[in-house]
Structure 1
Amino acid sequence: MTTDDLDRPGPQLTAFSDRIGFTLDPFQQQACAALETGRGVLVCAPTGAGKTIVGEFAVHLALAHGTKCFYTTPIKALSNQKFHDLAEAHGAENVGLLTGDNSINSSAPVVVMTTEVLRNMLYAESSTLRGLSHVVMDEVHFLADRFRGAVWEEVILGLDPSVHVVSLSATVSNAEEFGDWITTVRGDTAVIVDETRPVPLHQHMLVGKRMFGLFDRKHPKQVNPELTRYIKHRMLSDDAVGNYRERLARERRRGGTGISRPTMVRLLDENGLLPAIAFIFSRKGCDGALVQCLRSDLNLLEPQEAATVDEIVERHLLALSPGDADVLGVEEWRAGLRRGFAAHHAGLLPMFRQAVEELFVAGLVKVVFATETLALGINMPARSVVLERLVKYNGEAHVDLTPGEYTQLTGRAGRRGIDVEGHAVVLWTPEVIPDRVAGLAGARTFPLRSSFAPEYNMAMNMIDRLGVEGSRDLLRRSFAQFQTDRSVVGQARQLDRARMTIRKINSELAHATERKGLEADAFLEYVTLRDDIKQRERSAKFLRRMEATEAVSEDLLALKSGHVIGLNTGRHRGLAVVLHAATIDLDPRPLVLCEDGWTGRVGVRDFVNPPEVLGHLRIPKSANRRSAHGRREIIGMLRSSGIERPTGRNTKKSKQPSMADRQLQELKTRLRKHPVHKMNGLDDLHRLSERRQRLLRDISGLERAVDERTAALETEFDAITGVLTELSYLEIDDSGELVVTPTGSVLRRIYSESDLVVAECIRAGIWDRLAPPDLAAVVSTMVYESRRDSYAGGVDSMPGNKELRDALVATVEVWEATNAIQDRHGVVQTREPDTGFCVAIGAWAAGRSLREALLAASERGQLLSPGDFVRWNRQVIDLLEQVRGSVDPDAPLASAARRAVKAVRRGVVASELD
């Protein structure tokens, strides 16, 4: 089929165009035309370009043909928004919603859902899949997400071949490669790439109170020289730089960047750049920006607009009780909205976020301080986007924004049909170099990389549906393997070239040594001997470093509660007292309280030398280690203990030479006695031989890499099936095939990150007799993750009844036993159960108020926002439903899970599920 064919609309596309009432862009026309001819499509286009029109045409086609269309999204907020859009377009009776914790009209011909829900349907072989003709995968580039990306590949691989897949992606540089893979696994797929933004985007930098264009007008690829000169002028002025940095330090302590948020908003307003989204990569920063604006006299709305805000806000708060409204700070939140500004992040209640979204689209909120989740497809375009920093926390460390992330965030700027142009504004600080901003803004290379890897639940469901060989075939057909195979082809070519070069060098060496009167073999023997010595010396150095690490690990494992040690690296230095000993041998991490007030776990990386016990502190039982008051009491004891700070110590000890040391000395002796060692004038031969040795190492590495890459997924799969077989979730049947056991059917229905531990706890029966609030509390340990700056406390210190504490102890024992088995098979261990949400959800499930539940969390050191509280409750509900569905409906556990869900699903939690 030619491009001309795709430019001619068929009858359904003509009818669709007439209904929507506007002319399609060329890329939309081509993609829709391909769909109407029965092909799958992959559409890659910038944010705001209108990719979803292609997905909406798939919905139109399914309804026109009397079949079904599933519309999948990566986040529930986007699913909810798309559900309302499609219901308005096609009628509520024709559109349903499934998000794990919400089910509306699920038998409708069009169902919007999160991608995980569709994956679970495929594994369960749900009858809802009958009649399915189209699946829209919005934001399909999410398959690169390291935590959830595998789900997208599972769906693409698992759908019936007759289903047409509509993949909608942000612009990626390897769209053709991705399209080739989809064509390989799904059949004929049209790849439509459009890199033109419908609204041009202009790049700016705000330096102090002056706005500059980032690029030179005459030379669009070069940084604006006026901007560079102005920054240099500021930096060269010692007084100005000193004052600025001092002010910047003060602002950063409050979460700012050297210019107040009200001032920034006024500057945007003066430059005609409102409405705006200001991306701040922390919830605390977003809330701090909102408070700054509230304390100022900034007001962006007229009185009649504020009155309209009140009407919309009241509609969103109908389900909220007066008591909850007080706890949630509704009046302060409303005060910001009435003046035209708001925060938007996951810590807010969904009803708050939805109100902000509606008000922003209506033009009643002029500036939103948001985290990056707002960039994930939610329909909130703005005239401008502001980036306060170019660094964000990725869950493990603070990292620079990638060009793809920069493009995704700034892509929100420019409202199609409203704005002539969009604007991206980066705030300048001494650390922000214009050239780097220009590099981010001008980059066009955003490769899509697979994150697919086999996991327990996936392996169980694949084996149950496809058998072991079928599962291996599916792994081989993954995008991960597709990319590996392509890279292996390149590596194989490198191998061929390296081997040809080696042969050429061997020939050159033979002639060169002959001219020197040397035997080539003798010279190569000398070179090999010298290289062997170098490698052994490197290995010995690595071994010494490993021995030092093991010494630190052993000493950490030996630390007991009350031991006082010294910290000499990282941000926290000085004395620290051990609150809880390490619980596992692998990377032991005891919990310590430092004299500067920091509490956290320390590990091998925090010590250069093994930790020395400097003394012992007897901590009274009355000192509550989890409360701020209790920690201050312990710090006072530590400071007054008289224990001296460490001065460091030398861990080197004299010891007898090892066998490896003696062998190394023997090799060096042989080297010195070798006839070639004392010969002069061999520099050219040595250079040639060094090149040969490097090539030999390269060849060895490439050979190893090819072997490892081609077998990596299957090796991982074999390790996982080894664990499952040892635990009797899989067994070999009479025909010699590996099959799922009746016990394994439980694990097939658990879709948690801690799926194996959950299944083991169910099998052990340790949750069977728990009351519903206690069951909710224990299940929460499988999903909840404490913030990195807080500590939930150990199971032994959990308040509550004996049944709950016993169940928690037993759960941790199951986790430890499971990890021991995983370790034997070389599988990454499951994270530790986290008790940080137990008290809060236990109180909530027992009927306590929202205020009491949040207070209970704070007393355990967990400062939960209302949005987090609802979000974690949702996840617990989701897992409780999985637990209920994995066991006999008449079992006590099923009954307790059902009642626990009912107990949790109330108040603000229930209102967010309606």
Structure 2
Amino acid sequence: MAEFVELLGNKPKPVADEDAAEDEDIGDLDDLLAETNESMLETDKTDKPQDEQSNLVTAPNEDEDLIKEADAGPKVRTFDLLRQENCIHEVAVPSYMQYVPLETRQTRPAKTYIFQLDSFQSEAINCVDNYQSVLVSAHTSAGKTAIALYAVALALRENQRVIYTSPIKALSNQKYRELLEEFGDVGLMTGDVTLNPEASCLVMTTEILRSMLYRGSEIMREVGWVIFDEIHYMRDEERGVVWEETIILLPDNVHYVFLSATIPNAKQFAEWIAVLHKQSCHVVYTDYRPTPLQHVFYSSGANGLYEVVSARGEFREDQFQQAMSYVSEKAPDERQNRKLALQQTANSVVTILRTIRERELMPVIVFSFSRRECEAYATSLKDMDFNDHDQKDLIRKIFFNAVSILGPEDQKLPQIKWILPYLVRGIGIHHSGLLPLLKECIEILFGEGLLRILFATETFAMGLNMPARTVLFTSARKFDGKDTRWINSGEYIQMSGRAGRRGKDPQGLCILMVDQKMSDEVAKKIVKGQTDPLNSQFRLTYNMVLNLIRVPDVNPEYMMERSFRYFQNKAMLVPLYEKYKARREQLDRFEIPFGDQLTAYNQLIALAEDMKKKIQAVVIRPKYITPYFQTGRLFRVRTKTRDLGWGALLNHKKTINKMGDTIYILELALRLSWECVKNIENVEELEPPPANESAALEYVPVELSSISAISTMRIKLPESPEAPKAKEAIKLSLERSMKKFAGKVPEFDPIQMGVKDQNVLKDIEKLKDMEARIADHPLRKREDFAEIQAAYNRKVELTEQLRIAREEIKKVRGGQFTDELRARERVLRRLQYVDSYGQITAKGRIACEISAADEILLTEMILSGVFKEMQPPDAAALLSCFVFEEKTDKTPPLDDQLQGAFKTLITHAKKVAKISNECKFDLDESLYVDKLKNGMMWVVKQWCSGASFQEISENSGIFEGSIIRCMRRLEELIRQMICASQAMGDEKMAATFEEASKKLKRDIVFAASLYL
């Protein structure tokens, strides 16, 4: 069976050259046919069934080991300490420790408050008073910061140092200002800025704290408390692993305060902390909102608001159905062009805002999921003014004070001049494309109540404490980088949580604009659903592996076994084992006749399929296939996993991909399942229509590698495939063709297409021989053959299910990461980052200095001398490819130096991908290379060569804020490149990067934060 599975999984090797395929060894055909002949003779001699035990091998019996694993889960106990309507208090304690109840404070409090504490605040502060760690899970604006302030006050009173970490630099700057005003002895460390690093209270980003832990900073010896603000960021796919690494590396004698939005698995997180750091960890949870929320829908087509969820939390079905009665089944951009849809939404926004103003429900935050939409909606408020003369003067004073830190030329930037007229009228805009200084100025104005309307993207809801009376969503759908989908409950809760100011508003108002019909189930999930659980995003990185090899007393396995993912997976082990056991018992009971003969027969079919693929790899070469690119020609499409059937050719184009290869793209009209038509760009995700069900017809771009056959027939196409009824006509024509030939559409033979290579012709003869023997196999002549083959297929399926069940258990046991770790270690040994004994080399120590970008690729480039002779502006420009992530509509032409540098970068990236795959570390070369974007190279070189910000922003097509954000990330990478150069003893290269940093760090790009 093992050999059988391998044969099924074989893939043809890439064709070596353009004219002739190598005679690939896919198995000794003569030996296989001889085996098959013997099987035929045996079948002729006897009809007695044979149990197939040798060929369909079940997994080894390791039930005892699996039971041990299932019982080896983390041992932790939890106790309920308080259960009230508005507060739940639990504590997680390692099973080997005795729980010591909390004592009531006998001494004066470390800090007092001018307001009455809520029950959840009192409970959490009591945990801090008892020097026990606590996770506080509560809604936005509920008052979690009060607990953090108490922990800081307690640490300072006890002459301990305390670290306050936040997920983003902007939030760190704000927290620094807040804590500085309260305590005075406060420092800031964000990478960009370091202020008073000897302070007793240090505010820093989590990345800085992680770096300190890896380097064994002396500061940690004096730390008594670490506060993690917005710990729910740990579920961030890209950066969540940083939180997890940091928490794992922190010493056990430190106590923790974790502040989080409401998360349903808060107790599980506390249990992990208790086991990880061998200490009690409390959970204080409240879903109480000091200011209740009212949720209303605004339907396009209706002229009114419908209360869908009352302030008491009741879902009103009648109001929801009434709102939906005015909404179309389709989204606006499916009915009309986007520009018109945007204008109609803008008109609706103006109507709603007028209503909000009349009902005195301001200030309002208007959330949109696009930066350009934010600006478009703001510009639609041409005749609205919310401020009197004195307020306008105050806004101008604050604004001009803010921009006064810029040089005279930067003060004249179009974005600065453009936004001021909106601000003086009480209208703000906040998104990542704005200059950081403008964003901070707008935050200050909004916090002071001088802006009555703020148009913002969802990032405004993360961390910043900026509540409003009303929140308006301009859409219930968002594009998440892959698909346009309904917003989920977690996103809605985060943004809607900004509605309602504690102590000012009796209730907050959330308005959701709906322009497409949704079911009541979807609506309830959005407005009444739970937040997303805090699930681990732990993953291995080369920087992590190398640092853990370098640091004494720890290793990569140490990190994996202590990760939150490993802890979460352990809880899943028992049900997974039950699933495995059931599959095992089912397979052990399964018997089929003629096992050996069936195995040989199916091996022959697998070999025939491999041979077809090998021949087809030659047939789809441009020299053979391009003469048949006539419109209407039928081509069969087969992805890696599915046969999509026949499609009609509409058009084709020749292009060059990012790897520099010439490729052909065929636009085919394909019949598809209705379920998959939302994303037709990725052919691998498409599915054929189910049998006897209606199909959708879509125009799909297909590469030649997905073509499995070319038909001799063509169908007639409408004159314009874009005409309203064209798709229906093409679908009907395709279905008639399938029916006419009963699905067996006539195909071109490779010889007919002019293939004359002798090796291919031999393969064609072998294939004919195989197909003849398959057709004449004695088992096929049996009346019960279909039943026998079905039984064989079922046992193969059960064996595969058992393998999958074991793989799931393997992942829970850490096998997924174990395999990946071994593969990464092979890559590191091959590239000499570690030696044969697993010890870090000098090259590995260089890579340890780089964490802001691809440490392996950058180290390879450093040591190959790529940067040695480069001028500082060119070096900075090349490094920008590692930190720029946005898509750009236009890119200024690159000079010869930059073009050459980028080609060198791509060459090194391909080399790293090739070696990775050779070491069995799967790395998609195309995706890996595509991550390197040259959209900022021209901008960075011009800036480092002395160009003005206005000049580079006008010619780049990139938002000003995006340019600055990229350059600040670039400066962080350059600092690490300086350290890497110094680690290898190359002072000349270090000087190049130091000069690049100096040229980069000037004027508006590195203007100081208004919070500092």
TM-score interval, normalised by the smaller of the two chains: 0.7 to 0.9
Match of 1:780 in 2: 880
User: Are 2:996 and 1:900 aligned?
Assistant: yes
AA aligned to 2:223 is L
Structure 1 residues 26-37: aligned runs within 5 Å: 26-37=119-130
The reply to whether residue 111 of structure 1 matches residue 202 of structure 2 is: yes
Q: Give the SS at the match of 1:202.
A: strand
User: Does residue 1:583 correspond to 2:677, yes or no?
Assistant: no
Report the CA distance shift for 1:525/1:230 in structure 2 as closer, same or farther (over 3 A).
closer
Is contact 2:229–2:260 with CA below 8 Å preserved after alignment?
yes
Distance 1:278 1:537 in 2: 64
**Residue aligning to 2:851:** 751
Contact 1:589 1:603 in 2 (8 A): no
Letter in 1 for 2:360: G
Amino acid at match of 1:143: M
Counterpart residue identity of residue 58, structure 1 = A
2:577 aligns to what? 492
CA distance in 2, matches of 1:535, 1:222: 57
Q: 2:906 aligned with 1:812, yes or no? A: yes
Distance in 2, Cα, partners of 1:313 & 1:721 = 54
Partner SS state of residue 738, structure 1: coil
**Deviation at residue 204 of structure 1 after TM alignment:** 0.7
The residue that corresponds to 1:638 in the other structure is: none
Q: 2:916 aligns with which of 797, 815, 822?
A: 822
CA, structure 1 residues 82+248, in 2 after alignment: closer, same or farther (shift >3 Å)?
Answer: farther
Contact 1:565-1:611 within 8 A present in 2 as well: no
For 2:37, the equivalent position in structure 1 comes to none
State the match for 2:782 in structure 1: 672
Matched, 1:341 2:427: yes
Equivalent in the alignment of 1:607: 701
Indicate the residue corresponding to 1:771 in structure 2: 871
Q: Does the C-alpha gap of structure 1 residues 719 and 300 become closer, same or farther in structure 2, counting only changes over 3 Å? A: same
* Partners of 2:606 and 2:397 in 1: CA distance: 72
**What are the within-5 Å matches in structure 2 for residues 390-539 of structure 1?**
390-433=476-519, 435-444=521-530, 446-466=532-552, 470-499=555-584, 506=589, 524-526=591-593
Rounded to whole Å, the distance in 2 between the matches of 1:78 and 1:487 is: 36
**Cα separation, partners in 2 of 1:611 and 1:56, compared to 1, 3 Å:** same
Distance 1:906 1:202, change over 3 A: same
Indicate the residue corresponding to 1:328 in structure 2: 414
**Does the aligned pair in 2 maintain the 1:792–1:834 contact within 8 Å?**
no
Q: In structure 1, what is the Cα distance between the partners aligned to 2:799 and 2:908?
A: 48
Say if 2:404 and 2:411, in contact at 8 Å, map to a contact too. Answer: no
2:838 is aligned to: 738
Structure 1 residues 652 and 360: CA distance shift in structure 2, 3 A: farther
Provide the C-alpha distance between the structure 2 equivalents of 1:777 and 1:410, rounded to a whole number of angstroms. 41
Match of 1:850 among 949, 970, 984: 949
What SS does the corresponding residue of 1:740 show, helix, strand or coil?
coil
How far is 1:242 from its partner?
Answer: 12
Match of 2:7 in 1: none
Match of 1:712 among 780, 795, 816: 816
2:256 paired residue among 162, 165, 174: 165
Query: How big is the shift at 1:712?
Result: 0.5
Contact map agreement 1:280 1:371 (CA 8 A) in 2:
yes
Is this contact kept in 1: 2:874–2:941, CA < 8 A? yes
Cα deviation, residue 547, structure 1: 7.9
Partner of 2:367: 279
Counterpart AA for 1:494: K
SS of equivalent residue, structure 2 residue 256: strand
Q: Which amino acid in structure 2 is aligned with residue 81 of structure 1?
A: Q
SS at match of 1:747: helix
Partner-residue secondary structure (3-state), 1:71: strand
Cα offset, 1:2, TM superposition:
7.7
Distance 1:32 1:877 in 2: 40
Q: What's the counterpart of residue 73 of structure 1?
A: 166
| Partners of 1:552 and 1:58 in 2: CA distance | 71
- Please say if residues 215 and 438 of structure 1, whose CA atoms lie closer than 8 Å, have aligned partners that are also in contact: no
Distance 2:524 2:490 in 1: 13
2:138 aligned with 1:45, yes or no? yes
User: 1:858-892 CA deviation, whole Å, 9 max, x = no partner?
Assistant: xxxxx111111111110110100000112227611
Q: Is the contact made by 1:533 and 1:668 (CA closer than 8 Å) also made in structure 2?
A: no
Give the distance between the partners of 2:875 and 2:505, measured in 1 at CA: 53
Shift in alpha-carbon separation, 1:557–1:26, aligned structure 2, 3 A: farther
- Distance change (3 Å), C-alpha of 1:242 and 1:22: closer
Question: 1:335: Cα distance to partner?
Answer: 0.7
Contact 2:857 2:908 in 1 (8 A): yes
Partner residue, 1:99: 190
* Corresponding residue number in structure 1 for 2:833: 729
- For residues 512 and 867 of structure 2, what CA distance do their matches in structure 1 show? 52
More off after superposition, 390-399 vs 168-177:
390-399
Local SS of the residue matching 2:935: helix
Tell me which residue corresponds to 2:110.
Answer: 15
Q: What secondary structure is seen at the aligned counterpart in 2 of 1:47? A: coil
Q: Which amino acid aligns with 2:288?
A: T
CA change 1:434–1:317 in 2 (3 A) is farther
With the length of structure 1 as denominator, give the TM-score of the two structures: 0.80
Which structure has greater helix proportion? 1
In structure 2, give the amino acid aligned to 1:718: R
Match of 2:342 among 251, 254, 257: 254
Residue number in structure 1 paired with 2:75? none
Task: Summarize the Cα distance change of 1:567–1:149 in structure 2 as closer, same or farther, 3 Å threshold.
Answer: farther
Question: Would the aligned equivalents of 1:31 and 1:43 in 2 still touch at CA under 8 Å?
Answer: yes
Shift in CA distance, 230/441, structure 1 to aligned 2, threshold 3 Å: closer
Q: CA 1:162 to 1:580, structure 2 compared with 1: closer, same or farther past 3 Å?
A: same
Provide the residue aligned with 2:964 in structure 1: 870
Equivalence for 2:303: 209
Q: Distance in 1 between matches of 2:117 and 2:403?
A: 38
Q: State the alpha-carbon separation in 2 of the partners of residues 827 and 579 from structure 1.
A: 27
Return closer, same or farther for 1:546/1:338 CA change in 2, 3 Å cut-off. farther
Distance 1:548 1:368 in 2: 62
Q: Equivalent of 1:264, from 347, 352, 357?
A: 352
Gaps of 5+ in 2: 1-78, 83-99, 638-648, 668-679, 685-699, 708-732, 738-744, 750-763
Aligned twin of 1:703: 806
Identity of aligned residues (%): 26
For 1:41, the aligned partner's letter is: V
Aligned CA distance change for structure 1 residues 286 and 243 (closer, same or farther; 3 Å): closer
For these two proteins, the number of residue pairs brought into alignment is: 815
2:296–2:307 CA contact under 8 A, matched in 1: yes
Relative to structure 1, the CA distance from residue 609 to residue 159 in structure 2 (aligned partners, 3 Å threshold; closer, same or farther) is: closer
Query: Contact (CA 8 Å) 1:262, 1:298: kept in 2 or not?
Result: no
Residue of structure 2 in register with 1:621 after alignment: none
Cα distance between partner residues in 1 of 2:318 and 2:601: 51
Q: In 1, are the aligned partners of 2:227 and 2:256 still within 8 Å (CA)?
A: yes
2:242 is the counterpart of 1:151: yes
